[in-house]
Structure 1
Amino acid sequence: MNMSTENQSVCAVVVAAGSSRRMGGENKLLLPLCGKPVLAHTLTVFQMCGAVRDIVLVCREQDMEVYRTLAAENGITKLRTLTRGGDTRTESVLAGVSAASEACALVAVHDGARPLVSDEVITQAVAEAAKTGAAAPVVPVKDSIKRIENGKIAADVPRDTLAAVQTPQVFRRDMLLHALLDAAANGRSFTDDCAAVEALGQTVSATSGSYENIKVTTPEDIAVAEAFLYRREKK
């Protein structure tokens, strides 16, 4: 496969079906981040991204109306549909990919809790997936990594062989759909979408991520995200 992104339409599948357990049960996607809900920031990036045609939002049944209103209030006109997620990430992504238009050649699966993803990170992953079929942004690991056994440090893990993977992870729609259906048929679940296609022997290209593209998981992450946003505004 070696086609340009211009002749391939892209649907962003934004996964927002989590339970926010590490936020004490409070819906982290509705928490204020510089005056707007976390999810509003996430959706706005894809609304403004020229590489993306449609947005599918995957969420819990009880959040649908709140998120629909949030999207309308923030001018998210690319929102194609909201669809109910499953009990696992794999089930939720499958629901989102299934709801995407068959006219979309590529799907960009993104965590709703990553509100600081940049246009550049999205477009690089999309461009690479248009060439190779699958791509994901990564950043080098900063910390020294150790392998632990029985509460003891057992060995060093070479840091230059490691990277932290982010989203959006971009795939040919048919490839990812096949991988997710195969996982469902075999009772497998993945916390990372790359793993689903890798399980079928597909390699995933690595593109440049950003250390600002954090996932809001704990209350401390809100403070970090706000600091990044304030720095962007000053620039």
Structure 2
Amino acid sequence: MYSVAAIILAAGQSQRMGGANKLLLPVAGQPMIRHVVKCYRAAIDGPIIVVTGHDASNVEAALDHIDAHCTFNPDHKNGQQTAVALGLSHAPDANLLLIGLGDQPLLQSADIRDLIAAHQSADPLKISIPAMDHVRGNPIVVPHSLRAMLTADQERPGCMRFRRDNPARVQRHALPAAGFYTDIDTPNDYAALTSDKEFIT
């Protein structure tokens, strides 16, 4: 069994981006999804599953020569929960499973390691979520013992409903890094990101 594996959700249609696929926009000289997956790859030792959907062939091409496995979600138009369920069905056995988003370019490898450390120092049998000032972030950490429960409800699989229905199985960690709470959904979001010289291509 692996120590830590990851599912990265990259199946969305980028509807608020005005026609562009946000995951392919340049960040630090490379497509956003490549930048994010490399961040995870540097932080964990286990497999990374990237769930694709919209524009899958171009997303997969952006990940060429990276140690990550892409799996296509044919049901991607029906919401993020379908991508989570598919990712869970393809994820390998691991003590901990990260479930993250492909549009968090401020996230750093050190942030992921900090989240894992916070989880391990708390209750390792609960789902761990970064949170600051009542804002919930991503990725989340799912212990192996809870994975099957996330898909027990076949009509509403995934994390969101499970967390609502099982608050005692969830713990939040006050982690301040902006990468946990910043995703890119709109042209304004991307403009704010690239106004930082670090991300100008």
**Pairwise TM-score range, normalised by the shorter structure:** 0.7 to 0.9
Query: Is the counterpart of residue 176 in structure 1 residue 147 in structure 2?
Result: yes
Return the TM-score normalized by structure 2. 0.83
Say whether the 8 Å CA contact 1:28–1:217 is kept in structure 2: yes
Alignment of 1:116-131 (within 5 A): 116-130=106-120, 131=123
Of 81, 87, 91, the match for 1:96: 87
Structure 2 unaligned segments of length 5 or more: list them.
none
| Aligned 1:146-165 pairs, distance under 5 A | 163-165=134-136
| Post-superposition offset of 1:23 | 0.7
CA–CA distance in structure 1, aligned partners of residues 152 and 197 of structure 2: 38
Alignment match of 1:108 (pick from 98, 104, 109): 98
Maintained 8 Å contact 1:124/1:207: no
Q: Which runs of 5+ in 1 are unaligned?
A: 1-6, 141-162
1:18 to 12, 22, 26: 12
Conserved in 2, the CA contact under 8 Å of 1:129 and 1:172?
A: no
Summarize the alignment of residues 2-13 of structure 1 with structure 2, pairs less than 5 Å apart.
9-13=3-7
Give SS of 1:170's match. Answer: strand
Alignment partner of 1:135: what SS? strand
- AA at the equivalent of 1:224: A
Identify the residue that residue 224 of structure 1 maps to in structure 2.
Answer: 192
User: Any idea what the Cα deviations from partners look like across 1:90-120, whole Å, max 9, x if unmatched?
Assistant: 1211111110112x12110111011111222
**CA, structure 1 residues 207+194, in 2 after alignment: closer, same or farther (shift >3 Å)?**
farther
Q: TM-score, normalised by structure 1?
A: 0.72
- Which residue of structure 1 aligns with residue 169 of structure 2? 202
Give the distance between the partners of 2:178 and 2:40, measured in 1 at CA: 19
Asked if residue 43 in structure 1 is aligned to residue 37 in structure 2, the reply is: yes
Aligned residues: 192
CA-to-partner distance for each residue in 1:93-148, whole Å, 9 max, x for gaps?
A: 1111110112x1211011101111122221122233344331111222xxxxxxxx
- Structure 1's consecutive aligned runs of 4 or more residues displaced over 4 angstroms after TM superposition are none
Q: Is the 8 A contact 1:212 1:228 kept in 2?
A: no
- Secondary structure of the residue that 2:88 maps to in structure 1? helix
Query: How well do the aligned residues superpose, as a CA RMSD in angstroms?
Result: 2.4
Following superposition, the deviation at residue 47 of structure 1 comes to 1.5
In the TM superposition, residue 63 of structure 1 has moved relative to its aligned partner by 3.0
